[in-house]
Structure 1
Amino acid sequence: MRSGQSITAQLFFFALLLVLLAGAAGGAGFFGLMRTGAAIDAVTGVSTALTNINTATAAIQSLYASGRSEDAEAALAGIAAVERGTAGTPALAGVTSGLAEAVHGLSAGWRDIDAVSADIDRAFAALAAAAARLEARAVEDLGKSEDDLEEVNAALDGTRAIVSGLTDAELRLTRGRAAFEAYLRTGDFFQLTAGQNALSTAARLAEDTRVESEDPAFAEALKAISSLTGDLYQAVARKGDNSQTIDLAAEWSRLSPRLSTIDQRIDAVNTEARASADKAFNRAAGLSIRRDRAAAFGAAVRDFRTAAYELLLATEDYRLKPDAAHGTAIDAALDRVNGAISKLGADAAKEVAAPFADYGKAAAGLRRATEALEAARADATGLSAAAADGLRRTADGVAAAARADRDRVSLTVLAVIAGIVGVAVVVTLLLDRRIARPLRTLTTAMRALAQGDLDVAVPVRKGRDEIAAMGEALLVFQASGREREDLRRAAERDQAQREQRRAALETAIAAFDSAAAGVIATVEGLADQLGRGTADLSGAASHAAELAGRTSLAAGSAAESVRTMAAAATELARSQTVARDQADAAVSVAGAGAGHARTASGVIASLSETTARVGEVVDLIGSIAAQTNLLALNATIEAARAGEAGKGFAVVAGEVKSLANQTTRATDDIRALIDGIGNATRSAVELIRDIAASMADIDAAAGALSESVMGQGDATAEISGSAAMAASSTDDMAAGTLELAGAADRTRTVAGAVTTTAGTIHAEIVRMRGLIDSFAQDARAA
């Protein structure tokens, strides 16, 4: 390589040498890549087979957990892929032997479990349906028993109401008979009244019993008793003028048998009602037993249903976790269901026996199918693990062979690379001496010229190559740079002089603008204050004028009204004096009458209270007698229910009833006397109270009248004086408001003139600001 050659020729020679060296390195690398590719293919095949066996293992696990046909197909596909991938490797022949049969065993186990699960579902549905039917039957029996029992109790209550009502009516008839007989013996009018009241009460009780009874068996008898009692009462009742309808002494022989007939009818109905009550009571006892049996049967059905659901839950738990503990739980649940069936009774047990037996068979089949599935899973898991271990061992062997080939190829490539590096070092040294070093010198000179150093020494190389031409061109650039530097310095001096003049002008303009703006702002603020003050003054003057006008009108009207009121008040004062004298006299008379009325009212009220307390005592005795009679009647009913054992108790109850009847008759006689005294006393009390109330009203009205007259007299005098003063004041106020209105009009006129002047000042200020801004812009532009 000669020194006079161009740089291009030198670079071509060096490049050709490097290409030859690179070809040698490439041949060595290609040989190594071929060996490495073969090793990679072997490792890839084994890795793919290992991936497929892992996929098949995952599909087997999923098949065991879910039993889906998709998982079985995926497992078989993975096994087939492993067999295809290892067909060319004798060491891996038969690695998946038996694994496909294990997968088929898992699928068959799940089919058996699905079939048994369907049998379990059908058997449980039959058990649940049978339990629902039994529970519905129990609810129906219980409801019917309770309805029948409620109906019987209602009938029993109705019968008791009939007996109670008729017994009370019979008691009133007995009192009436005794009162009439006493009247016939003594001629006592109070006895006649007591008898009539007793018959009235008996007729009302008989009619109420007929109306309230809902038992059709007693309807006709109750209607007859009510009719007879009502007719008898009408026969002895008084007219509207309190005169007697018939002569009781003459008609008693005809009326007495009618009383006896009614008593007999009542006794017959009571006897029939007691017999009906006994039958209803016996039926109620039977219905209570039937209801208790229905309730017990319902509880047994609910226990059976609960046990059946517990059996289903135990079966589901075994499906999720098929271990010995959950299998024992199924056996325990079956025993509980069997125990619940034994409590249902023979008929109900027959109804659920068949579905329960079917469930037991299906549960046993589930356990057998689950055990077979577990065995198939164990086989599949073991075979897949063995296949994976074989593939991993093969992969390890292939990887070791690949590493050995890689080491041999690496040594060859390293030797070639060492030769290339040696040649490259020689080429680099030659390039540095012939090309790089001169270029670095030129680069340093160029960088100095670029930074403005025009005095740098430019190296010039002798010869005809490109580096010598670059040195000569750089000398030309150095001369041009020196000329440009001289021109730049002259331009900078001119620009500095212009900037100094512009800065002085800007300072003068800014000072003038600031001073003018301050003056204008001050004048403008004063003008705005003047405008706002005149506007407020004008508004206040207008408002004052308006108020003065309205006040003047109101003052004139008020003065006229006050003068009229003063005249009327003077006339009213003269009338008040006469009315006050008459009111004082009325107050004196009313006060005396009210005092006498209050004294009489107190005496009569004391007598009325004493009579009322005696009546309360008599009522208490009568109430005790009536309650005793009712208790005796109930005791008679209970004694009749007791049969022979209650005969002695019935005799005692009859004596108590007789004593209660005598007490009732005695209290009725006393009550009649007290009622007569009470009626007269109440009439007197009411009369005295009316008189006292009237006198009190008169007294209060007279006092109020007197006070009102006195108050009106004083108020009238005050009104008269105040009205005169108000009339004078309103006249003065009207005159003052007229003067205020005139002053307000004058103020509004002055405020308008000031507002006009302020507007003119503001317009001139705006014009002055525009002139100043225009001057400043022109000065800056110049």
Structure 2
Amino acid sequence: MFAYLAKLKIVHTITLLSIIPSIAALVFLYQLIKVDTEDEQKLAALSQLTRLSVKIGSLVHEQQKERGATALFLASKGQQFEADLKSQRKATDTARIDYLQFLEGFDLSIYQPAFAADLEGINAELQKTPRMRSNVDALNVQMAEAVAFYTRLNSEKLDIIGSMSELSPNAEIVDRIVSYHAFLLTKERAGLERAVGAAGFASNAFPPAALQKFQRLIVEQNAFTHIFQTYATPELFADYEKLQNGAANTKLNTYRDIALGGEETAKALEAISGPEWFETASQKINQLKALENTIAASLIEDTELLQASANGRLTLHMGIAAVGFLLVFLMSFILIKSIQRSFAKIIEAMEQLASGNLNIKLPKPTKNEVGQMIKAVSVFQENMILARDLKKEQDTQHASQLERGEFLEGRIADFEQAVSYVLETMGRNSQTMQLSSQEMSSISELTSNQSKAVASAAEEASRSVQSVASATEELDCSVAEIGNQMQHCRKAASEAVDQVHSANSDAAELRKAAQSVGDVVSIITDIAEQTNLLALNATIEAARAGVAGKGFAVVASEVKSLAEQTSQATEQIRNEIADIQRATEGSLTAMEDIDKIIREIDQRASAVSSAINEQKFATQEIASNVSEVAGGTAEVTENIAKVNEAAIQTGVTSKQVLIASEELRTEADHLRNEIDQFLGDIKAA
């Protein structure tokens, strides 16, 4: 059941919720109308029965008079009161016809079946009246039997009136009915008293049984009077008190005392005739009848007022039920339509947002749950707009990053090409320097050996002048050879100087390239920092978006992670560039040292060349001036010593150049490895 209710639309659920209290209200109103209807039906039955009681009261009154007249007629053995009896019978028949005509329009369906049966029984007993009358006329019935017949008819009718109290829903009316019934019973007992007293006064004697009955009837009248006093209104009982204190009732009480006096009042009993008693009792009963009519009219009026009030309540409650049902229906219809329209607008807005239309205009939020939903959808719309703008910004940044990446790739390719060329040039130059230094070392060794040979020759020349010519020739050749070798050495030193200059230029270019890479790395670092800031902003916006921004939070986290990795890579590249720059600076310093050494070698070679030229001129002069052989030999020895020293210095320098070239090549290889690693990291990043 709960699963089924959960599948219902909100409008249907609200409809059910509005139907439940409506049904409860309708049930309550139905019960109220049912009670009002029952009260109205009871009061209608009571009103009809009250009118019937008037008819019954009239008929009972006439039957009471007929009963008294019958008792006088039978007591006189048919000698008296025949005309009075016939006249009374006509009055009784008139009351009976009026009663039966009233019953023709009497609705028995609103009463219990037992009531209808009792009423039919009364009507059946009435049908026996003609036969009883015939027996009375023929004097074929005892007075007691005749009186009992009429008394039974009256009692049955009075019991019908007594049942009226069961139909009243109003306690006051019940009291009025009880008092009315007690009054009728009092009047009935008065009628029986009239009949019994008429027989006793007519015969001038009250047998014990008759006297006992006469006394009982007086006691019963007093008892019913007390009941009447208890339930009647003060006004009605005051009227009854006036009647009791009237002349007729005072006279009747005197006759009662005579009847109840026994032997002491026997003479007084003989003085009172039956007709005289009957007339006095009839005066009181007629007065009671008048009061009965007043009580009945008051009861009918009160019953009709209550019936009218019940009809008014029933009409009012039915009107309230109809108006309430209509209002509930209209309010439910209006409420459901209002909620349906509100939810329809929200659903349409959410569908538009789901389809990507973010420019829709939401309804104005109200101060209820629907307004809270509209506010939530508005926040969702704002977050979607922010997400769209953020995506556009990210796409722009991505395109910018791609463009920067392509630019960096181009610059890196150019840098790689330039560095490769520089490294290749440095490699070739270092190899050339290595070969030149090796050649210089060989030349320096050869020069040293030759200078040693020249020194030996000079010494031999000094020991033997005879060998001067040959020594001079050999010296001339050696000098020429030394001159040639020194020319080669000088040329090699000059080339080494050029190579060093070229290496310096390449190293300077490399330093510039490293600086350019450093600038590129700075740009990458700035981009990484901006990306990190954007990722942080995206994370904040995603957090503000709540559940809807979880996807953006993941993307922002990934972008932030990439930015941090880029920062780490650029920091590593910066460190590598710093190492390259330091190595380049070291290479430049080494190159400058090499340049100084090679220049010194060049200067030494120039000095050696000058010495060789001077030695050549000296050897030429040896041939012309033998006398100067000793001095020239000494000078040659000195110069050869210098040459030897210069050659040794040249060998040392060449070894230094060789070591420097090897270090240059090692640094170049190290620089190539660092640059390759740097480029690999850049490409990987």
Q: TM-score range by the shorter chain?
A: under 0.3
Pick the structure with greater CA Rg: 2
- TM-score normalized by the length of structure 2: 0.28
Higher relative contact order (CA 8 A, sep 6+): 1
